[in-house]
Amino acid sequence: MPLVRTYRALLVAGFQQMAAYRIQSLLWMLFAIIRPVIFLAAWVAIATAQGGAVSGYTVGDFAAYYVCLAWVSQLTMAWNSQEFEWEVNQGRLSAKLLRPLHPIHYSVVDNIVYKLTTLPVLGAILIVIAIAFNAHFRTEPWHLLVFIPAVVLAAGLLFVFGYIIASLAFWATRMRTANTLWQRAAFVFAGSIAPVVLMPAWLQTLTYALPFWYMVGAPTEILQGSVTPERAAFILVGQAVWLTVCYAVFRVVWRRGIRAYSAVGA
C-alpha cells in the first residue's frame, strides 16, 4: 500500500511542522469558535426574552446546537482555496506537480494534521460551554452512528468544493473575491446564523437545494440529536449527491486548469 505509507510519512512531517506553529494553530482554533459563541449568546438572549424558547427551540437546544456546530465546523473546515491561490501565483505548485503524487493529497494531510492537533483543546472548551449554557442534547446512539458518515461526507464536500474554487486560480490571478463570495454564501446557508428549521419556508427550500447546509448545518443537527431517521437519510443522500457532483466538476476544472497553468516564477 504505497499510498498508505506516503500518507504516514506526510502525516509525520505534518505533525513536526505543526509543532513549530502550535500557538498559531490554537489561536486559529479559538478564533473559529468565537462566531458560534456569539450567535449562541444572541439566541439565548432572544429565547430568554420570549419566555425561554423560539419556535420550540429552548435555550438548552440552542446551546446544544451551537456547541455541535462549533465541533462540526472544526471537523469539516478547509482552507485550501486560499492556500492554493498563493501556490499557483508564486509557482509553488510546480514542485508538487513534478512529483508522482496528486497535489490534493498534501492538502488532505495538512487538513488532518490541523484538526487532530486542535480538536482536544476545542473539545475541552466546548464541554465547558455546554455545561455553562446547560446544553440539552437529544442525541441517541444511532445519531452518533449516523454522524460518522455524515461528518466525513460533509468534510469531503467542503474540501472538494473549496478545491473547485481554488482551481479557478489557474485562470484568475486574484481569487479573493470568489473566495469571499462562497464563504458569505456558506455563512448564510450553512446554518451558522440559525438552525435551518427556524428560517422562513422559502429560505429553507433554498438551503436544502444548495450544497452549503450539507457541509455544516446538517451533520450538526444529527450530532445534536434533533433529526428523525427519515431526515437523517435525506441528509446523507443530499450529501452523497452533492459530493458526487462536486467531485465530477472538480475533475473537469482541474484537468483544464492544469493545461492553463503557466508555472510563473518557478
Partner 1 sequence: MSEAVVHVRGLEKIYKVHERETGVGATVRSFFKRTFKEVPAVGGIDLDIARSEVVGFLGPNGAGKTTTLKVLSGLLYPTGGEASVLGYTPWKREYAFLRRIALLMGNRTQLVWDIPAADSFLVLKQIYAISDHDFQTRLDELVDLLELAPLIHKPVRQLSLGERMKVEFAAGLLHGPEVVFLDEPTLGLDVSMQARIRSFVAELNRRTGATILLTSHYMDDIVALCKRVVVIHHGKILYDGALADLAERMAPYKVVGATLRDGASRADLERYGDVVSNDGAGRVKLRVPRAEAPARTARLVADLGDALADLSLEDPPIEDVIDRVFSGGQLEPAVG
Angle, in degrees to the nearest 10, between helices 176-189 and 80-89: 170
Candidate list 144, 148, 237, 263; residue touching partner 1; CB under 8 A: 263
Which C-beta is closer to partner 1: that of 20 or that of 49?
Answer: 20
Q: Is 2 in the site for partner 1 (CB under 8 A)?
A: yes
Candidate list 58, 94, 139, 183; residue touching partner 1; CB under 8 A: 94
Which C-beta is closer to partner 1: that of 33 or that of 109?
Answer: 109
SS3 category, 71: helix
Positions 19 through 78 that interact with partner 1 (CB under 8 A): 20-21
Task: Give Cβ neighbours of residue 103 (< 8 Å, ≥ 6 apart).
Answer: 93, 96, 97
> What's the closest the beta carbon of residue 122 comes to partner 1, in angstroms?
23
Amino acid at residue number 13: A
Q: Would you tell me how many other CB atoms lie within 10 Å of the CB of residue 245?
A: 14
Q: Percentage helix, strand, coil, to 5, in the chain?
A: 80, 0, 20
d(CA 151, CA 142): 14
> What's the closest the beta carbon of residue 102 comes to partner 1, in angstroms?
10
Candidate list 99, 138, 176, 251; residue touching partner 1; CB under 8 A: 99
Q: Are 154 and 69 in contact (CB under 8 A)?
A: no
Amino acid at residue number 162: G
Q: Is 98 in the site for partner 1 (CB under 8 A)?
A: yes
Q: Is 252 in the site for partner 1 (CB under 8 A)?
A: no
Q: Is 203 in the site for partner 1 (CB under 8 A)?
A: no
Q: Are 37 and 70 in contact (CB under 8 A)?
A: yes
Among 11-19, 56-64, 131-139, 146-154, which window interacts with partner 1 (CB under 8 A)? 11-19
Angle at the Cα of 14 from the Cα atoms of 8 and 17, rounded to 5 degrees = 150
Positions 111 through 140 that interact with partner 1 (CB under 8 A): none
Q: Is 262 in the site for partner 1 (CB under 8 A)?
A: yes
Q: Is 172 in the site for partner 1 (CB under 8 A)?
A: no
Q: What is the dihedral of CA 184, 174, 113, 223, to 10 degrees?
A: 10
Binding footprint of partner 1, residue count (CB under 8 A): 27
Q: Can you give the binding site for partner 1, defined by CB under 8 A?
A: 2, 5-6, 8-10, 12-13, 16-17, 20-21, 91-92, 94-95, 97-101, 258-259, 261-263, 266
